[in-house]
Structure 1
């Protein structure tokens, strides 16, 4: 069932990505890159790099912060799957070094790569990532502080919905 849903999702996103409307492609690439991480790391990398490239073309677009965040997050996930934990940490920090976006500022950042790095016992970069995210996620309602405390205790927080955004 999950495989069928992912395949349908990829088809829908692919149609948007193949659109001749540049903004539609730009807006769809983050979802497509995220969906490809566990299916095809090489394809996820291609989409993430294109997303980051398009962000340089559209730096004033409302999606710029999302592009920086998700493009780097996906590249970090790919690096982690390829065994390059140091590179994954670099990409995590780059994903947090965004000015934010309407979505990131309200719902917060995606914590998937942070969680994966915690599972690999790499908490220093995750704690630094929390600090970076605090610059744009003013509506965290204390979640970043709570997660920071848990990580300092050697725990992996329940990131809840921040694993799905």
Structure 2
């Protein structure tokens, strides 16, 4: 159901924005870096860094992703009362964790997953839930306990996802790997 809603929203946005709406990873990165370049205030930069980090990683631009994620982590404490703060905390840790894992640092990746789970939440995290890419990557490397701990941490902000977290936890405890569905896309 969530995937259907997500696809519907993407279709509506595509119609609303016409051909200018970014549909490929490269187009999304171009838009993110354009917003970053055009930012005239620190808060605009704060908003743009998140997408720049995530899209850079998705295209394999590891050094750019690392730079953007670290910068986001440095400026985030200034915006603790901002609605986007929880997204920033979650996502800069997600990106740095995925980088650590690609570079063979499993323990560091797990630490970043736990830090991501300590996000205070946000309108997006509280409703749609967190991106599970790092959790999936860690599961693929055999790390189950850290992922279960992450699920427990996510419960404090993702009340709407309690049943899903319960299901995923049960699947992990029984030796299965959950299907994270749309939670790999956010």
- Per the normalisation by structure 1, the TM-score is 0.94
Q: Distance in 1 between matches of 2:145 and 2:82?
A: 32
Q: Say whether the 8 Å CA contact 2:90–2:115 is kept in structure 1.
A: yes
Q: In the alignment, what sits opposite 2:158?
A: 137
Asked if residue 34 in structure 1 is aligned to residue 54 in structure 2, the reply is: yes
Structure 1: where are the runs of 5+ without partners?
none
Q: Distance in 2 between matches of 1:136 and 1:10?
A: 28
Q: In the alignment, what sits opposite 2:14?
A: none
Q: Which has the greater radius of gyration?
A: 2
- Per the normalisation by structure 2, the TM-score is 0.84
Q: Distance in 2 between matches of 1:17 and 1:54?
A: 14
Asked if residue 55 in structure 1 is aligned to residue 76 in structure 2, the reply is: yes
Q: How many residues align?
A: 162
Measured on the aligned residues, the alpha-carbon RMSD in Å equals 1.2
Asked if residue 15 in structure 1 is aligned to residue 34 in structure 2, the reply is: yes
Which string of whole-angstrom CA distances, capped at 9 and with x for unpartnered residues, describes residues 124-155 of structure 1? Answer: 10000000000110011500000001111121
> How far is the alpha carbon of 1:28 from its aligned partner?
2.0
**Residue among 113, 122, 127 paired with 1:106:** 127
Q: Distance in 1 between matches of 2:41 and 2:161?
A: 34
> How far is the alpha carbon of 1:23 from its aligned partner?
2.1
Q: Distance in 2 between matches of 1:60 and 1:89?
A: 27
